[in-house]
Each structure stands twice: as structure tokens, then as C-alpha cells.
Structure 1
Amino acid sequence: MTECYQPELRFSSFSRRKITADFTGGDLTSNAGLLLLRECDQHLGLSRSVAEVVNDPRRPACVEHSTEQLVRQRLLAIAAGYEDLNDHDQLRFDTALQVGSQRLSPLASTATLCRFEQQQDRSVAIGLHKVLFDQFVARHKKPPKRLVLDFDATDIPVYGEQEQRIIGKAEYTRGGPNPRFITTNLEGDGEELYRKLYCARGDMENRIKDQQMDLFASRTSCHRWWPNQWRLLLSALAWVLYEYLREQLQDTKLGKASVATLRNRLIKVGAVVIKNTRRFRFLLPTLLPDREIFCKLATRLVPT
């Protein structure tokens, strides 16, 4: 990584003491919680499954970064809050992301990740949907009694001169603004069905918010259709990691936390990194607010 001179930053004084800062702290990370998501990924075999269905026409003899490493790098970066490919110009040197991606040296560059993204097509999108379906099935010890499939539209803006697919939806009613009605073949009182059954789908809406607001499902700024689908599905795959993490937290105060809360409290953790030929050592904050939960997660996720 290119190093350049960084001036000392000066802040207003406090108690007759000068306050300064600079960028000479050495090997630190603000993403130490990726160690937890790395364990989730290994438990689920998620990146491995994705790597088996994506397009990667590179010559194996000339490859420096494996397909699975590229998938892990992109997936964990999104989970950590970095949606832009340009972020990887610096992120590729982050030790926590390197460890999460199972690599001992700098990760793939922005250009490499961009070329990889452009190779994905319709067949890959279909394959990734199957990966998501298999993950869902694997999370159930026995088949659920009932599955509710809720198909709903969601708005994702496009940018620039990219391809577009336009779907129109129109509703007309004489019931005034914001009518509440359902059409169903289920027996029972309509209002009760609406309040007790249909409104339960509100939690599903929260999952959509997780992906659009916190996992960047709406970041579809590529000029081509299928790479945008790849980005959208990466968001869904990152959500699978967080859902597995949330399963391990059911007996804690974070058992129903949103993705944003989980990221802020457990993933965006600062650490000093010490590494040698034998191990990586992450020195976490002594006063980490959720230290007990972090330790509990590590114990549960790491195989004995």
C-alpha cells in the first residue's frame, strides 16, 4: 500500500492539554467483529456454495485470488458496511477482512472485483437463488407445517444509462385513501384474518428494510442488468450471515436486533492487530460494551 505523509491533526485543547492525532498507529482495524461472521460463514458453508455457481473464466494457473476468496471479500465487506467497490482500494489491506477471506496477503483490488462482477449472468442468479433455498431448508430440522410466500414489489432506483425493467402497479378502490382489504379463500372473519394473519407479514417487511437500508440492496449502480442482480443477491446472502448470527443470540438482549444494531455493536469493533508466522492476535477494547455477548458468540461459533 502506498504510504504518504499525513500531517498531525490538531483539536481544541482540554484541561490545558493539547489534543492531536495522526495516522501512525500501525496495524489496527475497525472490523474485528468480522471474526464472528467468518465463523458463521464457515458453519453455513455459504461462500463455498456461492463460489460453486458463479462464473469465473480466469485461467487457474494465472489466478492470485481464488473464486471463494473474491466471494468472501465482497460478502464480508457488505456485511461490515462497505457497499462500494472503490472501498476495497484500502479495505484490501485490512487484516480483519483478510483473515475473514482466508488470505494472508492483500486482497483483490477494486478492478479485479469489478471484472469478477461483470461476469455474472442469469444462470448465476438462478444458482444463487438455489443456494438461498438450500440454506433455508438446512435451517429446519423438520419441515415447517406451513410456508407463507409473500410476493411484493419494492422500489430500487437505477442510475445513468443502464438497462431498466419497468413494472407498473395500479390500484383503484372506492374505499377512500389507504383502504384495508384482503382477498382470501381462508375461512373466518375478514377483519380478524387481516389483523392476526396478514399483518404478521410486517416482520417480513423489516427483513426487506434490513437489506435495503443496512445491506445496500438498492446499490444497483452498474450499467448492466445481471451484475446488478448479483449485487442484490449479495445483499440477501449477507443477510443470511446476520440471521445465523442472530440465532446464536436468542438468549441475549440482541436476540431480535436489526442488522444495523448487530453491526454497530458486534462487528464494528476496533482492535490492535499483532501478527507473526504462528498466529494473528486481535487486541480488543477492554471496555467493549457488549464484551460478554461477544465472548459468548465466539465460544458458540468456534468448533471445539
Structure 2
Amino acid sequence: MKLIVRHQTIYRYANSAGRVAMLLRLMPVSTPAQTVIDWHVSVNDAPVTGFRANGHGEMQAVWTQRDGLDRAVIVAQGLVETHATNGVLGMPASRIDPRYFLRESPLTQASDAIRAAALAVPAGGGALARLHAWSAAVSDAVRYRTGVTSVSTTAAQAFALGAGVCQDHAQIFIAGARAMGLPARYVSGYLLADEDNELHETHGWAEALVPGLGWVGFDPSNRVCVTERYLRLACGIDADEAAPIRGSVTAAGDISIDADVRIAQAQEGIQERQLQRQQQQLAPPSLPMG
């Protein structure tokens, strides 16, 4: 499957920002599950260069602006071919020891309730079967509901609430997998959703390390392992570390953020023309700068 993506994020600063620095993890890399055909990242219409591989083997770049700035428009767009692997990513090149993903973070610390629920999952059938069962248990225990959690909500809080969104499902899954002794990590990226449930934001899911198989992607929110409808961007110990954009700003006052993701399946044989058309038709109206 070939996917066309346009992801636009607009930061607006109430007062001119004296200095803005952003870590951009918006450049997907080719893996057994995806092949990057064409991809570009820009800020305020200027191409971002200098992407380098980090310890995870993923691409990142730092963008800085030291002059007065009242908004930053970040656009990532391109064409990627995805492949059906039954969720199996394997063991892509990485300088990070997988045991790093056994560590807890404030967002993924397992509460007693999460630990008890995860360890109650039958161990028969091996690690993969146990993780499938745990993913289903998370989905059953935490109803998908928007507006009740935020980016700062922890796995323990969302589990106690019994409701949340993809970030919450993924972080609860991660907390439980680590309680089982299996490394697990958060993944940010894109999902080509059904026509009746179109998404206009990034998506989050989890990967767990299955002995003898490698990293496997689980999406408790949709009760599936990752399919060819998923496009992977970045991973981390939790949602914060895996965020596609992280930044700091000085002397900016209030900051507002608007994000919009448009994703579609490319038509065979006319991908480049369709990509150009998608960029023109699906892009939200551009805003004047300055």
C-alpha cells in the first residue's frame, strides 16, 4: 500500500519569540514494514536539512530561530509504501540496548492495578500470545473516549479512570508489558483510518520485544497488531520522548498549537501527480507570516 501524507503544525506566539528551538522527528525511515519513496520537511516554507540518525536509527533534526517570530508553520509531507508484516518490525539497526525499554517513566509507571492486571494474563502460549491477550485486556478496561485525558495523563491515571485515547492505551500496554519483564516502547506515526472515522492527527501505538521474533507493533485502541495502514515515525520510552515535535521558546507569552494530518492511499501509477494534488487540495489554507 502506498500512502500520501501531509502533516501541518502551526505554533502561534502571542509575543514575538526571542528564540525558538525544535527537535523534529518528522522524517520516517525505511524498515521491513515501510519504504520511504519521497519525503520533505519544511518550516515557514524553508526546507529543513541536517537530519541525522539518532540512537534508535531514526532521523531527527534541530531547527532554531533567533529573530523575532510570531508563528512557525511546520509541514512534513511525502509518499511511503507500507508492507504487511503482521505487525513484526524485527530488529532494525539501533545503538540502544533493548533493556532501556524496561525502564519506567512518570508517564508509563505501572500502578498496582496495572501490574496486577498484566500479571493476571495467562502465560501459556508464549510471550506473543500473552501480549495479544494483554492488548485486548487494555482495550476492554479502558474505553476510547476523547476529552477526558491530556498529554500529561499517566498510564496509572488513565487506567484508574477507565477511559482515554490512543496515547493512554499505548502507555498502559507498555507499563503492563514491562511488568511482565518484556521491553516495550511508544511509537508515534500516522494511521490511514476508515472513511467513516477519518483521523486528522498523529496516532500512537506500542511495540514490544518478543523473544525470537523482534519488535512487534500493538494498537490496543484498534484491537490489532500494526498493519500496512500504519506509517511509523519515531519511538521512545513514552509518548513525550517519541513526540514528532519537541521544543523550547523564550519570551513568547501564550502559545497556541494547531495540527492537521491528511493521509490517503495513492493510486498506482500516478503517485507523483496525486501527491502534488493532495498537497494542494488537502492542505489547510496557509496563513500570512509576520
TM-score norm. by structure 1 comes to 0.29
Q: Which structure shows the bigger proportion of residues in helix conformation? A: 1
Q: Which has the larger radius of gyration?
A: 1
> Structure 2-normalised TM-score?
0.30
